[in-house]
Chains A and B, each alone.
Chain A
C-alpha cells in the first residue's frame, strides 16, 4: 500500500524516480511534500520550478504546477511566475551547480529583491547528472572527474551566500536530519520573502566513489556525526565542536516582499 502522502502529492505513475540507490534527493523531496501538507496549501496554487540536473527532475514527480526549465535559470523563470501571479506559492528546487555556478547570478538577485520564492538547494557537492564533475560546493582537495588531482577551488557556503545577498530566511540541514529538515522546510515555505534551505544530500555514485566515502550508509553516518545545530553547538565546549559543520536556522527576519511592493505601486497609481 502506498503512503497517503505519496498518493496525495506525487504523480504515482511517474515513479520510481531516476535517482540512484542511496541518493539523498528523495528524502529532501519528501520533506517538501510533508511541509506543503502540514501548511495545508492548495495544490493548484503551488508551483514547483527547477533547472537542470539530478535534483531538477523532482518536479516531474510532484503533483503541482511544475516547470522544468533550462540549466541555472529556475529562479529567473520562477521570478516571472511569482511576479505575474503572486497568489502562487512558488518553490524552486535546484542543485548546487545549477544554483550557485551557472545560476549564481539569479540566486543573488532573487535574494536581493526579497521576492517571495522558496529555494531548496539539493546540495550533493558534485555535478551528478553529467557524471561527477566538481561543483562550486565540492570541498577543496576533494576529487571529481574534472578534478582528478584534487579540487583547488574554494567552496561556496550557499546559505551564507544567500544571507549576504539579502535573503530574509536561510537555513541549512542534511538528508540525515529529517525532523529538523521538516521544520525548516515548513518555516521556509511559510516565510514571506526570499527563503532558502540548503539541504546537504549524498551522492554515493559519484562523489562518494570518487572520494572513497564508502557506502550510502557510511555517507549518512558522516552527516549524522559531522553536522550539529548551531544553537546546540553554542553550548558545547570547543573540543566537541572541532571538525563539525553547523546546520539549523541561520536567519529569519521580516522585510518588505518584492511582489507586495510592486502591488503597492499599482495601488498608488490607481489613486
Chain B
C-alpha cells in the first residue's frame, strides 16, 4: 500500500494521529504554541461527524473533554504552559474518576506568560506532580513530527486501556517544525477501545472484574445508570468516607502504572552498546543530542544517547542499568534541571550525573551541548 507522504508540523501530525486513533471530540481554548491543534481539529472533526468546541477557558476545555469521554467519545484537549497550569485540577479528576482523556501540552518558554512562541521543557515535573494528591500519570514525549503522530495514537490507546488521562508533552520545537511524515494506512494502525459492559450483565461501575485491568466503562446513555464523582468512592462509584476503602482505591489506581511498566515504558537508545558516556535527553532537545553524538563519535569519543519516550512513569530500570556501564551521564533539557533530578534519583551514585540546561527560549545547539560535554570530560 502506498503511504501518504506529507510535510507537516508536529501540531498537525498530532491531529492526524488523534483522528487515526478514533478521536471524535476536541474541546480547548486558543493558546500559543498549541493553537494549530485546535484549528485543525475544528476543520476536520465535523467532516467525520465528530465535534469540536472552543470553550470559554482552559478549565472548561478539559472539563468538556471529560464529559464527552463519559458518553463514549475519544476526547482530546491541547494547551501550552499557562493553560496546562489551569487544567491541573481536572487532570486529577480524570485520574480519580478514571475517565480516558488525552491532554497535549506544547511546552513553551518560561514561567507565567513567559515566551509564548519559544520552546521550553519546564513542565516535565508539572506533568507528574501538577495536580494535587497522589495520582497515576502517563506522559509521552516525541522528538519528531512522525513520532508526534505515533505517540498521539499511543496516548489515546493507553488512555482507553488504563482508563486514565494521558499527557502528550511536546514542545515548540517539534510542535512547529515541519518535517516529512509518512502517514500509514489505517489498517496498519493498532487502535485500542475501552472495554464496555455487556447489556444485562451485573455492573458495578468501579469494580474490576476477573481478567480485566480496569473497571469496564459504560457510556452515559447506554442503559447503565451509574455515578461518577471526584470524591473517594467504592466499587459502586458512590462516595465513601471509609479510609480503608480510600486505601484500596488509591492502591488500585497507582498499581495500574506500577504493575505495567513494561507495557507503558518506551525509549530510544543510540550508540549505547559500547558507550563510556551517556547523554540523556528527550523531546525536541534529543535532536540536539543526536547531532552532538554524531560529531563526538567522529572524534572517537564513545558516547551514547538514552531518550525516554515515556517520561512518566520514568524508565527507572533502564537508566539504572546504563548508569552501571558508563562513567558519566549528562542530562540535556530546556530547563534548570528537572529530568536530571529523576536521573540522579535512580542512578543512586553509580556514576557522575551532570546537567546541561537552557531556559531562555532558545533551543540547545549541538555546539553548546558538545562544549558542555567536553567540560564534563
Contacts and interface: CB of A to CB of B under 8 A. Distances in A.
Q: Do chains A and B touch in the complex (CB under 8 A)?
A: yes
Interface of A: 14, 43-45, 47, 49, 59-60, 63-70, 73, 76-85, 87-88, 105-106, 108-109, 262, 265-266, 269
A44 B223 contact: yes
Nearest to A106: B60
Interface of B: 24-25, 27, 46-47, 49, 51, 53, 55-57, 59-60, 63-73, 75, 89-90, 93, 219-223, 225-231, 238-239
Contact of A47 (B25, B53, B221, B223): B221
B68 A80 contact: yes
Given A76-B59, A79-B55, A70 B89 contact: yes
24 contacts: A44-B225, A47-B221, A49-B67, A60-B238, A65-B221, A66-B225, A66-B226, A67-B227, A70-B63, A77-B64, A79-B27, A79-B60, A79-B67, A80-B70, A81-B68, A83-B25, A83-B27, A84-B24, A84-B69, A84-B75, A85-B71, A105-B56, A109-B60, A269-B47
Given A70-B63, A80-B75, A43 B225 contact: yes
Contact of A68 (B65, B67, B222, B229): B229
A68 B57 contact: no
B67 A84 contact: yes
Contacts of A265: 46
B227 A60 contact: yes
Given A68-B231, A69-B230, A76-B59, A44 B222 contact: yes
Contacts of B27: 79-80, 83
Contacts, number: 132
B47 A88 contact: no
Contact of A81 (B47, B49, B70, B230): B70
Nearest to B62: A76
B239 A60 contact: yes
Contact of B67 (A45, A78, A269): A78
Contacts of A68: 227-231, 239
Nearest to A86: B51
B223 to A, nearest CB: 5
B77 to A, nearest CB: 10
A248 B137 CA distance: 49
B107 to A, nearest CB: 24
A83 B228 contact: no
B25 A84 contact: yes
Contacts of B66: 69, 77, 80
A80 B63 contact: yes
B227 A88 contact: no
A24 to B, nearest CB: 22
B70 A67 contact: yes
Contact of A69 (B25, B63, B68, B69): B63
Given A73-B60, A76-B63, A262-B46, 11 more contacts: A59-B227, A65-B226, A66-B227, A76-B55, A76-B60, A80-B68, A83-B25, A84-B25, A84-B73, A85-B71, A106-B60
Contacts of A63: 225
B221 A45 contact: yes
Nearest to B219: A85
A83 B53 contact: yes
Contacts of A105: 56-57, 60
Nearest to A63: B225
